[in-house]
Amino acid sequence: MKFAIQINEGPYQHQASDSAYFFTKAALEKGHEVFRVFFYHDGVNNASRLTTPPQDDRNVVNRWAELAEQHDLDMVVCVAAAQRRGVADEGEMQRNGKDATNIHPRFRISGLGQLVEAAIQADRLVVFGD
């Protein structure tokens, strides 16, 4: 089965990101395909490379990045939600006159069309969070 995953919650406010991560990991381990992971609303905060949890806590951003590296996952961050929450890559930094980026290199910023395409291409779109 081919899945598209949508995450609407940040890495530490709710269980949604953890649940999405474990679901995605289990699906991949069972041989399913993940077409795309799309981070939307507060979910874009899962892509900030500046997240620094305490040493005894899980690093949600690094967990996602490592899973993406292992399985060559397409990790897309919604551009509008990212702009509202201060998540920026090089292009958004320049376009909006900012002086820094903070997106982890395993993620990329794009539009809602990427979510629509994922929903069309996948057998199932699984949404985590409100």
Residues designated catalytic: 78
Bridge partner residues of 3 (DSSP): 34, 124
State the Cα–Cα distance between residues 120 and 130, nearest whole angstrom. 21
Q: Which of 24, 28, 25, 41 is nearest to 78 (CA)?
A: 41
Three-class DSSP category at 130: coil
- Strand order, beta sheet including 107-110: 107-110, 75-78, 33-39, 2-7, 124-128
Residue 4, both tokens: 């598209």
